[in-house]
Amino acid sequence: MTQFMLDMLKINAVNPDDGGRGEYERAIFMRRQLEEIGMKVTQHDIPDSRVAEGVRVNLTTVLEGEDRGRAIWLAAHLDTVPEGSREFWATDPYVPVVKEGKIFGRGSEDNGQAVCSILFTLKALKSLGIKPRLNLGVAYVSDEETGSKYGVIPLLAKGIFKPTDMALVPDSGSPDGSIIEIAEKSLLWLKITTKGKQVHGSTPEKGLNARRAAMKFASQLDDILHSKCPDKDPLFDPPPSTFEPTKSETNVENVNTVPGLDVQYFDCRILPKYPLDEVMKQIDTVRKAVEKETGATIEVVPIQREENTNPTSMQSPIVQKLTSALRQLRRLEPKPIGIGGGTVGAYFRRKGMDTAVWSTLDDMAHQPNEYCRIENMIEDAKVFAHIATS
């Protein structure tokens, strides 16, 4: 497993949205790995003119189970984020190094560890001639880091995964493996453009200060969103919905000009019980009121909108299988949680698939000196095999 990781991690697979060359070469390498252990692989090419090969590659393969009517999918992503500032790395991010039971390199934990554990689960089952209970599907997908437009989204549209299938996504977790993520908040990112009239700072009465109108709107929006979505759900950390004014674009370069244009953003992470259409209606009410009050024009555009209304039940078979694997193999009692961020698990859940996001990791994703623990790769593979055969 360690040698496999060293071979895979040296193939750069930085996402093209982040200026990388993409995961094509790594995907072809993975296709060979799967074929070497005797799997029949389906390659799904999604066109992307920005990469040299013209396509982004996704791979699926299925190990037939005793019951072929349903599948458990193990899904991991092949792309990585860039290394960030090299000065923070003790070793070359693309020359993986083994040290003290860890493998260092970009993508080692996110999501290389899962890619490796899944491959070796298949390899072990194949070489021992063990048939899984249900079909065991493996999906190695592209483009997870920047929205899955060339990955899980087109695969779901093609009908590769059935709503009655279930999924385990090893792309988030905790150091002892006790956390199972079964829900995600809905995500809403707003771009708010406020237009007034730009004039000299000494004669504001001749213009219309877009900044003042924008501040009013932001402040009222902040209040109304919090008061309309007040509930807390202890499944989530943090338990309430969050509505954060974040980025603010430069309006004018100098202090003595009254800005005629203001662009600001909100990052909202909303409990699944609040439908986003309702939230958008509240936003529109405030928008109209502030337009009327100030005379400015305000435009609100959701630049990211992901509704997650379908949490996976604790009683679902995938969570039950995972829970019993963890009890038996590790003697621990897992804790279900909801998270505020995204994995491909959200897309599976929206399709209606019961999905658990789980793995054992130190949470080194996207950091300099990213590593994965060799022990975690091995132990997680045992959990996958237990789930497949239970």
Decide if residue 109 touches Zn ion (CB under 5 A): no
Point out the residue whose Cβ comes nearest to Zn ion.
110
Question: According to CB under 5 A, which residues from 236 to 265 bind Zn ion?
Answer: none
Q: Considering only 84-92, 105-113, 213-221, 375-383, which stretch makes contact with Zn ion by CB under 5 A?
A: 105-113
- CA torsion 76-339-304-290 (nearest 10°) is 180
Matching residue, tokens 């799904």: 44
State the nearest-atom distance from the C-beta of 78 to Zn ion, in Å.
10
Nearer to Zn ion, 111 or 241 (CB): 111
* 3-state percent breakdown (helix, strand, coil) of the chain, nearest 5: 35, 30, 35
| Catalytic residue check, 48 | no
Q: Which residues lie closer than 8 Å to 266 by C-beta, 6 or more apart?
A: 188, 189, 190, 192, 218, 221, 243, 244, 245, 246
Stretch in the footprint of Zn ion (CB under 5 A) among 89-97, 104-112, 267-275, 379-387: 104-112
Q: Under the criterion CB under 5 A, does residue 110 sit at the interface with Zn ion?
A: yes
Q: Which is nearer to Zn ion, 140 or 217 (CB)?
A: 140
Q: Which is nearer to Zn ion, 82 or 245 (CB)?
A: 82
Residue 362 annotated among the catalytic residues of the structure: no
String of DSSP letters for 117-149: HHHHHHHHHHHHTPPPSEEEEEEEES-TTTT-T
In the numeric block, the tokens 């790395």 are attached to: 89
Residue from 144, 145, 184, 380 carrying the catalytic annotation = 144
CA 229 vs CA 246, 271, 303: distances in Å: 19, 8, 21
- Pick from 111, 113, 142, 312: which binds Zn ion (CB under 5 A)? 111
| Contacting residue, 48, 79, 171, 370, with Zn ion by CB under 5 A | 171
Phi-psi category of residue 285: left, alpha or beta, with phi > 0 → left and psi -120 to 50 → alpha: alpha
Task: Please tell me which residue in 48, 79, 184, 380 is annotated as part of the active site.
Answer: 79
Q: What residue type is 271 in one-letter code?
A: L
| Cβ proximity to Zn ion, 97 vs 365, nearer residue | 365
Q: Counting contacts by CB under 5 A, is residue 79 touching Zn ion?
A: no
Cβ closest to Zn ion, residue 104 vs residue 274: 104
CB of 362 to Zn ion, least distance (A): 14
What single-letter amino acid sits at 61? T
Taking contact as CB under 5 A, which single stretch among the options 18-26, 171-179, 209-217, 306-314 is the one that binds Zn ion? 171-179
Residue (171 or 370) nearer to Zn ion, CB: 171
Q: Is 265 helix (H, G, I), strand (E, B) or coil?
A: strand
Q: What is the DSSP string of 295-326?
A: --EEEEEEEEEE----PPPTTSHHHHHHHHHH
State the binding string over 311-330 for Zn ion (x if CB under 5 A, else -): --------------------
98: β partners: 103
Residues that bind Zn ion (CB under 5 A): 110-111, 171
Catalytic annotation, residues: 79, 144
